[in-house]
Amino acid sequence: MALEDDIDFLDRIPTLHLLGKDALRILAISVETIRLGRGDILFEEGQPAEGGFVVVNGSVVLQQSGDTAGDDAITARRGSLIGETAMIVETVRPSTAIALESSILFRIPRVVFIRILEGEPQAATALRRLIAARVGRIVADLDLVLPLFDGSEEEPEDVR
């Protein structure tokens, strides 16, 4: 892909779109292209995560070790962002990622992503708002199910 094509591709990914074109240009220049063959392992569950990946072509399955039947496996296809949290904070991989077919991915190192956010305050603010909204939705969901686990007989009002 040409640089402008890479920028346009990255711009179609909702989280990365928040960065704006200037930041995406820096990101497109900084990504590392990873090529995987069918069955190649991108990363393993429990490994330190030093950034994220974007699936450019192909597909990758994300599966946790306890899911031997593959019931909870997630398939990441073109345009999927894998390891979004790892682009911002130190963490470990919650699953193993295996290529289902020949695949191309962009690797986004955390250090690069953080530098971009430091240089683009409006992008950092937009990302903070996105994360805050997600956390708010998670807390609201937890508030709905918490009474089901605290031993009380009462159901949350929204569930009735």
Q: For 28, list phi and psi in degrees, rounded to 5.
A: -60, -35
**Residue ranges of domains in the chain:** 3-151
Which pLDDT does position 61 carry in this prediction?
A: 96
- Start-to-end CA distance of the chain, whole Å, equals 52
Q: What DSSP element (H or E) covers 104?
A: strand 103-109
Which pLDDT does position 157 carry in this prediction?
A: 58
Contact 59, 101 (CB under 8 A): yes
Q: What is the pTM of this model?
A: 0.81
CB atoms within 10 A of CB 108: 26
The letter for the amino acid at 39 is: G
Q: For 81, list phi and psi in degrees, rounded to 5.
A: -100, 120
Residues in the chain: 160
pLDDT mean for each 10 residues of the chain (160 residues): 92 92 93 97 96 97 81 91 93 96 97 92 87 86 81 55
Please state which CATH number belongs to domain 3-151: 2.60.120.10
Which pLDDT does position 10 carry in this prediction?
A: 96
Which pLDDT does position 12 carry in this prediction?
A: 96
User: Over 49-91, what HEC string results?
Assistant: ECEEEEEEECEEEEECCCCCCCCCCEEEECCCEECCHHHCCCE
Residue burial 58-88, b: 16+ Cβ < 10 Å; e: rest: bbbbbbeeeeeeeeeeeebeeebbbbbebbe
